[in-house]
Amino acid sequence: MTRRLMHVSLVVDDYDRALDFYVGTLGFELVEDSYIPEQDKRWVLVSPSPGSCQILLARAANDHQSSRIGNQTGGRVFLFLRTDDFWRDYHAYRKRGVVFVREPQDAPYGIVAVFKDLYGNLWDLIQPSQDLMAT
């Protein structure tokens, strides 16, 4: 049996603002942007690379959902962005204005730094150590 994570929802305040950050700043691929008239919303999917888990940019529909923007996981790291070249991506992101809240460090599992998205959600940028790269 094969299973894998397909989509993760990320609550946002505005589709286009979120797209500017995830596609324009982080360099993610826009997978789909469709309007659903019967629900008056868009189905917006982005992905860091083809074949990987996709992020559904879900515009908040009420005050309760709006209160979660920027705090999807109660202040913990929300998502882990794996890279095959940490320093390339780290320097590119800094150049594009991405804010890192924890500077790069070597850990037993790889090189990692923590950045925040435009809403304040925390992300790990990580290049796994060589023995973990195959997994």
Write down which residue in 35, 69, 103 finishes a domain. 69
Q: How far is it, in rounded angstroms, from Cα 134 to Cα 128?
A: 9
Same domain for 64 and 84, yes or no, is: no
Number of folded domains that form the chain? 2
Same domain for 74 and 33, yes or no, is: no
What local confidence, expressed as pLDDT, does residue 64 receive? Answer: 96
Q: Which of 80, 58, 62 is nearest to 126 (CA)?
A: 80
Q: How many C-beta atoms lie closer than 10 Å to residue 87's C-beta? A: 11
What local confidence, expressed as pLDDT, does residue 133 receive? Answer: 59
Write down which residue in 47, 69, 91 finishes a domain. 69
Same domain for 85 and 37, yes or no, is: no
Give me the tens of pLDDT residue by residue for the chain, a chain 135 residues long. Answer: 889 899 999 999 999 999 999 999 999 999 999 999 999 999 999 999 998 999 999 999 999 999 999 999 999 999 999 999 999 999 999 999 999 999 999 999 999 999 999 999 999 999 999 876 555
Same domain for 26 and 40, yes or no, is: yes
Same domain for 133 and 79, yes or no, is: yes
CATH code, domain with 99: 3.10.180.10
What local confidence, expressed as pLDDT, does residue 132 receive? Answer: 61
Same domain for 32 and 90, yes or no, is: no
What local confidence, expressed as pLDDT, does residue 130 receive? Answer: 80
Q: How far is it, in rounded angstroms, from Cα 86 to Cα 101?
A: 16
Same domain for 26 and 43, yes or no, is: yes
Domain span including residue 39 = 1-69
Burial of 65: CB neighbours in 10 Å, binned 0-12, 13-18, 19+? middle
